[in-house]
Amino acid sequence: MIDHIILTVSDFERSVAFYAKALKPLGITNFTDYEGHDGHPDLKGFGDGKRAFFWLKQGRSPMTGTTFIGCRL
C-alpha cells in the first residue's frame, strides 16, 4: 500500500500554490511543514487533516530524485 509520495519541484512556491488549489476539492490541504535538518530538505506536506501523505520538496535537476514513493506493509 502506498503510504506517501514526495515530488521534487523546481519552482517550490508556484508548485505549492498549484497543488493547494488542485487538491482542495478532494479535501486535501496544506497539513504540515517539515523543516529539514542534517542534510534533509524542507518539505511541504499535504493531507486530510489526520496525516500528511503528499509532500513537495525543492529540487534542481528534473532527472535525479524527482519522485519518492513510500510504501507501508
Say what the pTM is.
Answer: 0.80
Range of the domain at 30: 2-71
- Per-residue pLDDT at 16: 94
CATH number of the domain that residue 13 is part of:
3.10.180.10
Span 6-50, pLDDT tens digits: 899 989 999 999 999 999 999 999 888 888 888 888 899 999 989
Long-range pairs of 44-48 with CB within 8 A, sequence gap ≥ 24:
44/12, 44/16, 46/19, 46/20
DSSP class per residue in the chain: -EEEEEEEESSHHHHHHHHHHHHGGGT-EEEEEE---TTPPPEEEEESSS-EEEEEEE-S-TTSS-EEEEE--
The domain tally of the chain equals: 1
Instruction: Give CA–CA dist 67/8, Å, rounded.
Output: 6
